[in-house]
Structure 1
């Protein structure tokens, strides 16, 4: 005779049957949810529409080529889509016809080279051959 909860098996041994709830485990890294289902989350793969490229982590960009627009500076008008026409007032550029303009740009400096003129220190002397001063002294 077996104790309460045990039964006699074919080998004449008392055997008890114990039942427990199975441990639920999610495979492949999933997470067991309260409804006993497994949920696995992964990061989405970012893909851009055709002709767009992924910039950074979450921005799609497309380069669009458009023709530039011709714009003229103030005071000028666009003539044929290619040229700007108008007048501009500017200060004149100072230039010397001869010599060199000084730093202040107010004068032209012209350097001329001439041979020196020989003179004697007093009118008592006479210049000889443009080299010597001679005077006659009387006794």
Structure 2
């Protein structure tokens, strides 16, 4: 049996609620820099611990961490739904992983859109408003 070219030593980087990243809200050039530095620090620690792959959470529940015409930016980035952080967090994560010889994989929570309260907080930017026909409401949750 052929041996794999390399073994995957991966870590999930969770963005929901800022559990792993980010801690700082990107609201001005200084806080954008701090938010990026937080991610760089995490990646440096993972590289030092001999990880070679990062599973970067890019979608939580109806919002994303990259520019999208379909869903708004996650509020964890700036403190407000749809708030532009001033850079593309996914592209930045990929670039920083590659600088360290690490792979970066987009981890997406693809099915749930959130409960009715969360979906309402997304306003007209929610996929439940933009393309209602593909969304299903079940037991106070949207899918």
TM-score normalised by L of structure 2: 0.16
Whose radius of gyration is greater, 1 or 2? 1
Report which of the two has the higher share of helix: 2
